[in-house]
Amino acid sequence: MELYAVGGYSEVGKNMTGLSFNKESVIFDMGFFLPEIINFEEEIVEKGLISRDAMIRKGAIPNDNILDPKTVKAIFTSHCHLDHIGAIPFLAPRYDAPIISSPYTIDVIRRMMVEDGYNLKNPLKPVNLNSNFQINKDIKVELVGVTHSTPHTAILALHTPEGIVIYANDFKFDNHPVVGKTTNTKRLKELGKKGIKALVVESLYADLDQKTPSEKVAREMLKEVLHGTENSEKAIFATTFASHIARLQSILDFGNELRRKVVFVGRSFDKYIVSAEKQKLVNFSKRAMILKYRNEIDGFFRKLNKLRDKYLVICTGGQGEPNSVLSKIVNGQFQFEFKPMDQVIFSNRVIPVELNIENRRRMEEKLKEKRVRIFSNIHVSGHSSREDLRDLINILKPKNLIPTHAGNEKQKAFGELAEEEGYKVGVNVHLLENGKSIRF
């Protein structure tokens, strides 16, 4: 059995891992490196006007030349975030293999392909959480349901005659999710008793000494801001990731309680919300407006200037992205003018890379010049912290540990945690870089 560290082992994002057994392989995830994608014109990426090789050279997608396409029998994705599925249009055509994931994730991928004009030859196959996909008589992959900041996230378990490899990238242990079910810890414990050959696991917050709080905590934080501050006759804007359906649910609920019409502004919201409604996870359309075309957005913002206390706007821009709706408002590209004491709620954390941090800083400076009230970090993470990772290690008791979804410093922090639990870096804790492989 061999593991290939394709992407996500030298940076945060760009996730992709290959696993081979008996001359057959599977791929887990195919993601963007989001900071690099921000440097591209959106239309160039979305319309496929840049080649796979050019994207690899720019560092925007994983370099998958380490893999032999002839051996790959299936491509699995753990969930629908772009740092796990964004590279599919560029990389998947190289493989004569289906793309398999949870029903919600597959629906998001399908809509992404249609909206962005890609003709993907790979079959898209939805598989329910907590069930299996049989690849051949010796290999199957199990999708174990876990909580994260988007619905239908899975820990992927590769079953082979030589043992089980677990791919846990991303997850948290949330006992009070706002949308969806709790992590299937019962099944994880059963897998741990069977014996785990290796655990490939995110290490993004391995240096954070805590258990990641429940999404219910973020809901209460939003309630405190929206119901606990003076906002009559003021405009209210909220940002979060378009895929964070549970967070959108909370903002929508409190906006309606304030007797404001909630308006989702931005094309990305439509994609994720329609997919969530198709899976009967939510029903936003009856309670909110979803605007995705420029002409209807322009018309809405002109009206909002006069009816600022009648609406609550949910839009993109939490990372300060230059092409986001909030950036375009701040920079005068939409006909809406912030006034003193209007509110902007950032219900997300800035992805910790230099470009995002700088973009967000500039956005906040411009908002402060207009004397807008800013509420930052009204958020809890969807990622496991140090104590969640400790719990997973103790539940599964794997023979080998391989941290991913981070660079060198985060991997070192994970290595220190592993050594606290009786493992040893360089012996059964393997700190890999992109392009490397390890044979078990």
Q: Compute the half-sphere exposure of residue 123: CA atoms within 13 Å on the CB side of its CA.
A: 8
Distance CA 100, CA 82 (A): 16
Looking at the fold, whether 131 and 74 belong to one and the same domain comes out as yes
Q: Please report the pLDDT score of residue 49 as a whole number.
A: 62
Any residues with CB less than 8 A from the CB of 320 and at least 6 apart, and which?
Answer: 327, 350, 356, 358, 359, 360, 361, 362, 363, 364
- Is the domain of 50 the same as that of 65? yes
Residue 225 sits in the same domain as residue 274: yes
Look up residue 302 and give its two tokens: 């002109």
At which of 349, 375, 401 does a domain end? Answer: 375
Q: Directed axis angle between helix 386-396 and helix 185-194, to 10°?
A: 50
- Residue 298: give its domain's CATH number: 3.40.50.10710
Task: Sort strands 140-146 and 153-160 into parallel, antiparallel or unpaired.
Answer: antiparallel
> DSSP states of 225-287 as a string?
HHHHS--TTS-EEEE--TT-HHHHHHHHHHHHHTT-EEEEESHHHHHHHHHHHHTTS---TTT
pLDDT tens-digit map of 350-390 = 877 777 888 899 999 999 999 999 999 999 999 999 999 99
Other CB atoms within a 10 A radius of the CB of residue 121 amount to 8
Same domain for 243 and 371: yes
Predicted pLDDT at 51: 85
Task: For residue 108, give its domain range.
Answer: 2-211+382-439
Q: What is the pLDDT of residue 45?
A: 56
Contact 398, 382 (CB under 8 A): no
Residue 131 is predicted with a pLDDT of: 97
State the sign of the Cα–Cα–Cα–Cα dihedral 325, 247, 292, 46.
Answer: positive
Report the pLDDT value the prediction gives residue 46, as an integer from 0 to 100: 56
> Do residues 423 and 389 touch, judged by C-beta distance below 8 A?
no
Spatial distance between the Cα atoms of 90 and 118, rounded to a whole number of angstroms: 9
User: Among the three residues 319, 342, 375, which one is the final residue of a domain in this structure?
Assistant: 375
Q: Are residues 121 and 247 in the same domain?
A: no
Last residue in a domain, options 343, 375, 407: 375
Q: How many residues does the chain have?
A: 440
pTM for the complete prediction? 0.92
Is the domain of 316 the same as that of 429? Answer: no
- The three-state DSSP-derived secondary structure of 134-178 is ECCCCCEEEEEEEECCCCCEEEEEEEECCEEEEEECCCECCCCCC
Whether 294 and 395 share a structural domain: no
Q: Are residues 166 and 260 in the same domain?
A: no
Is the same domain home to 255 and 292?
A: yes
Identify whether residues 329 and 262 lie together within a single domain: yes
pLDDT for the residue numbered 328: 92
Phi and psi torsions of 328, nearest 5° = -65, -35
Model pLDDT for residues 33-75, shown as the tens digit of each residue: 877 776 555 545 555 567 899 889 989 999 999 999 999 999 9
In terms of domains, do 367 and 422 share one?
Answer: no
Looking at the fold, whether 259 and 111 belong to one and the same domain comes out as no
State the pLDDT at residue 34.
78
Placement of tokens 């491509």 in the chain: 75
In the chain, the number of structural domains is 2
Per-residue pLDDT of the chain (440 residues; tens, 9 = 90+): 999 999 999 998 899 999 999 999 999 999 998 777 765 555 455 555 678 998 899 899 999 999 999 999 999 999 999 999 999 999 999 999 999 999 999 999 999 998 888 889 999 999 999 999 999 999 999 999 999 999 999 999 999 999 999 999 999 999 999 999 999 999 999 999 999 999 999 999 999 999 999 999 999 999 999 999 999 999 999 999 999 999 999 999 999 999 999 999 988 899 899 999 999 999 999 999 999 888 999 999 999 999 999 999 999 888 888 888 999 999 999 989 999 999 999 999 887 777 788 889 999 999 999 999 999 999 999 999 999 999 999 999 999 999 998 888 899 999 999 999 999 999 999 999 999 999 98
What is the per-residue pLDDT for 319? Answer: 86
From residue 136, give the alpha-carbon distance in Å to each of 25, 71, 73, 161, 305: 11, 13, 9, 12, 60
